[in-house]
Amino acid sequence: MEVDGAKAIIDKLHTLDEFELGIGTGGWKAPATLKLNHVNINTNNMFMSFADGHFTREQILQYSIDQAVAKCGEFKKIVYFGDAKWDVETTRNMGLPFIGVRLKGDKEKLEDLGAQHVIENYLDVGGVLDVIHAAVSPQ
């Protein structure tokens, strides 16, 4: 199931020169790719990393980051979107800005873990862009 507006925000971010997109997921490549294709997410030119061959979530994210840096050079800011406790912990460990996504509106689950920004969907494209620019590492 697609988070409302996910496809639209990814399509929009693909058109903006200030952004490079990546996916770092704790899922295996085959089922993760199947899910992305099922909801028609454009993964062209995205830096992608999966659980295959990586033993920690930090390794998964770092692999995507390393791919992006190798192709594009250093970045001013790398922002990670996630929906679970391990996403908050991983981004805190890595010092990465984090945006939580909670479909059920129970944003306090991630806020209680230190997330400073939590959204329910991606329908407000301008709002999501604002949150990307404001994102900070979990406390």
* Boundaries of every domain in the chain: 6-134
Amino acid 104: pLDDT: 86
Amino acid 75: pLDDT: 96
pLDDT above 90 (res 45): yes
pLDDT above 80 (res 1): no
pLDDT above 90 (res 2): no
As a whole number, mean pLDDT of residues 35-55 equals: 94
Contact 96, 76 (CB under 8 A): no
As a whole number, mean pLDDT of residues 118-137 equals: 97
As a whole number, mean pLDDT of residues 59-67 equals: 97
- Global confidence as pTM: 0.94
- Classify residue 121 by burial, with Cβ atoms within 10 Å: 0-12, 13-18, 19+: middle
Which run of H or of E encompasses 118? Answer: strand 118-119
| Confidence at 58, pLDDT banded by 50, 70, 90 | very high
- 6-134 is a CATH 3.90.1150.10 domain: no
- Classify residue 44 by burial, with Cβ atoms within 10 Å: 0-12, 13-18, 19+: exposed
As a whole number, mean pLDDT of residues 28-57 equals: 95
As a whole number, mean pLDDT of residues 57-61 equals: 97
